[in-house]
Structure 1
């Protein structure tokens, strides 16, 4: 074994005299790059507001009586004029007959008084009666005429009271639950609240705009109107308004601005606006009292670049992206970002059409790095495209 040791040492020495170790540069990291999507962009003013029904009507008992019937299903849609409740009519039918009889009696008395007046007028000409008798006849005629008017008014009131026993929907809309059950006395001492009807079509949204945004919106709209028609028509009722509720990422409801207060509120410096949205059907998507996000388009700019949000980073200097430069070298580019559209962010400044932005592999690069780029399309990174891809893999 000792005799083999010199041989082993010689072999090791020979190996050490062979090829020396050298540093091998690692291959450049692979990244995905894509040119920005180019599209027209609409600028909006954004607000928050609250939905409010077009009308909410309280249905009350206007006469006293026992509630006999309820003719609707709670929570259902009703049309104007549909029967809702009926109060016991028997007393009011009797009152109506009495009022009719009293009118007939008063008319008969008037006929007799008119005839007496005619006779008195004839006799006074002959000198057969005194002036006092004629005056009495004229007074009687006027009194009976007044009595007829009073009785006719009482008849109209009796007809109206009978009509009030048949309670019908004053508007079309969704009726609430009945607040009084059949068999109860209603209208005693007060106009008993029976139910409410809410008109949800159209649905209004109220929101406030500050003075700066108001002036901007007025200026932009006036410019667009003059460009389209040569003159600036009134914006009321024509300005497009978009709305979203809850956690909706888009703005699916489209309506028009149909009302604005006449002056700014001096305490808040804001002006209240109202937008109107169509909301038809028994299963209408909007109800009163919802929190609403509202946006109003003011300008449209053409040919702006958009990139996926995953391509945008930030540091102490602000937002930046990595752009593929000459010879596959990475450039760090400061950018000004705008609104988000379907998962792509508008780049207001710092990027031109045709430049290639790093969208994957950002964590492996820095400014000046050499990379191995793989090209893609920015359209593949929209929220719609990514959602469709995720659905396809499930």
Structure 2
């Protein structure tokens, strides 16, 4: 009986040990599969390098309209803020007085012409008589002086008539060019032009329009190097395109051309003043607007990766790449400007590198991953 009990205990222990051994074999550690990430080769394409800065719009022409003659303002011939064509009448200043002065001057001119004609005939007559010894030389001298005085008087009357005509023209204040006229600063019936010219309004030309911007010294040197490399001269600058965007614009929808570059840098700011000119038929661009400015200055081949693939730390910018052993590496790069959703990589990458573009949170440097090659979508 005791032997049976002992045998049963030994059997039970053996069975328990077998179960435990079986459980240990089932819990053997199996490493997880490599994490899946998406990789792509950098895009190779010709990239346009831009000078990007800010600027302000300015009118190509702006003039204060003033009263150049004294008188009462008779009429205002435009609506405040209206667009007017060159030569359009804007103000009328009491023209009657100056019209009478013009007629008076023209009458004096006609009288001077008649006096000169009579003096000329008398001179010719006296000259003939002197040749015949019928009158003394002194008589001819008097006649000559009378003729010369008549010529001077006629010339003076002619000039007075021109001055009177100019003053009469000033009674009509006309638009010197196409533009928009501001609100009037004087009222009908008000005396203007007393003592000094009275400002009546301001006219501003909006088409075309300027954009003024500044280029720092470092960019100036870069652009000059590109110009020398491409054989460009100062005259070629007028063909360089300039693009601007307003604060609410996406990108740079307004296209123009470089119009002026200062011959010297401003020593106090270390910048070079430049100006572009833009067609503005719909008056979308207004003087004083703050704009973003972009000027292309060079084209070269470049490598681009999605901007989301870049990270940064205290050492600078980097991307995560997968090496030939499918291990993740952190690669320091020099990042350039952005083009759409892509970022130019100045240095640090080669065309064959596999850059992680998706699954960045699952990629840890030094660990193995399962790279899935994808193609970067390039939007033109």
Q: Please give the TM-score of this superposition, normalised by the length of structure 2.
A: 0.83
> Do residues 371 (structure 1) and 369 (structure 2) align?
yes
Whether the 8 Å CA contact 1:202–1:280 is kept in 2: the answer is yes
User: SS at the partner of 1:19?
Assistant: helix
Instruction: Give me the whole-angstrom Cα distance separating, in 1, the residues matched to 2:144 and 2:222.
Output: 76
Instruction: Give me the whole-angstrom Cα distance separating, in 1, the residues matched to 2:348 and 2:260.
Output: 40
Structure 1 residue 165: Cα displacement: 1.5
Whether the 8 Å CA contact 1:56–1:198 is kept in 2: the answer is yes
Matches within 5 A, 1:297-376: 297-302=296-301, 304-326=302-324, 328-376=326-374
Whether the 8 Å CA contact 2:209–2:280 is kept in 1: the answer is no
Instruction: Indicate how the Cα distance of structure 1 residues 356 and 336 shifts in structure 2: closer, same or farther if over 3 A, else same.
Output: same
Instruction: Indicate how the Cα distance of structure 1 residues 209 and 104 shifts in structure 2: closer, same or farther if over 3 A, else same.
Output: same
Identify the residue that residue 35 of structure 1 maps to in structure 2: 41
Whether the 8 Å CA contact 1:279–1:286 is kept in 2: the answer is no
Identify the residue that residue 74 of structure 2 maps to in structure 1: 68
Identify the residue that residue 240 of structure 1 maps to in structure 2: 241
Structure 1 residue 82: Cα displacement: 1.9
Instruction: Give me the whole-angstrom Cα distance separating, in 2, the residues matched to 1:295 and 1:328.
Output: 41
Instruction: Indicate how the Cα distance of structure 1 residues 213 and 254 shifts in structure 2: closer, same or farther if over 3 A, else same.
Output: same
String of CA shifts for 1:180-233, please: whole Å, max 9, x gaps: 22222221222211122222333223333344433332231232237xxxxx57
Q: Which runs of 4+ in 1 moved over 6 A?
A: 13-16
> Do residues 58 (structure 1) and 54 (structure 2) align?
no
String of CA shifts for 1:350-390, please: whole Å, max 9, x gaps: 3233533222332233112233445544328x7x9xxxxxx
> Do residues 19 (structure 1) and 23 (structure 2) align?
yes
String of CA shifts for 1:261-302, please: whole Å, max 9, x gaps: 3334455554332222x2231x32222223343333332222
Identify the residue that residue 6 of structure 2 maps to in structure 1: none
Instruction: Indicate how the Cα distance of structure 1 residues 335 and 261 shifts in structure 2: closer, same or farther if over 3 A, else same.
Output: closer
Whether the 8 Å CA contact 2:256–2:279 is kept in 1: the answer is no
Instruction: Give me the whole-angstrom Cα distance separating, in 1, the residues matched to 2:209 and 2:178.
Output: 14
Structure 1 residue 327: Cα displacement: 5.5
How many residues get paired?
364
Matches within 5 A, 1:1-394: 17=20, 19-20=23-24, 21-225=27-231, 234-246=235-247, 248=249, 250-276=251-277, 278-281=278-281, 283-302=282-301, 304-326=302-324, 328-379=326-377
- The range that moved more, 371-380 or 236-245, is 371-380
Structure 1 residue 51: Cα displacement: 2.5
User: SS at the partner of 2:210?
Assistant: strand
User: SS at the partner of 1:74?
Assistant: coil
Structure 1 residue 247: Cα displacement: 5.9
Structure 1 residue 339: Cα displacement: 0.9
User: SS at the partner of 1:107?
Assistant: helix
Instruction: Give me the whole-angstrom Cα distance separating, in 1, the residues matched to 2:28 and 2:163.
Output: 113
Whether the 8 Å CA contact 1:180–1:194 is kept in 2: the answer is yes
Whether the 8 Å CA contact 1:110–1:148 is kept in 2: the answer is yes
Identify the residue that residue 7 of structure 2 maps to in structure 1: none
Instruction: Give me the whole-angstrom Cα distance separating, in 2, the residues matched to 1:15 and 1:155.
Output: 133
Structure 1 residue 175: Cα displacement: 2.1
Structure 1 residue 340: Cα displacement: 0.7
Instruction: Give me the whole-angstrom Cα distance separating, in 2, the residues matched to 1:38 and 1:122.
Output: 100
Instruction: Indicate how the Cα distance of structure 1 residues 164 and 115 shifts in structure 2: closer, same or farther if over 3 A, else same.
Output: same
Q: Please give the TM-score of this superposition, normalised by the length of structure 1.
A: 0.81
Contiguous gaps of at least 5 residues in structure 2: 1-11
Larger Rg: 2
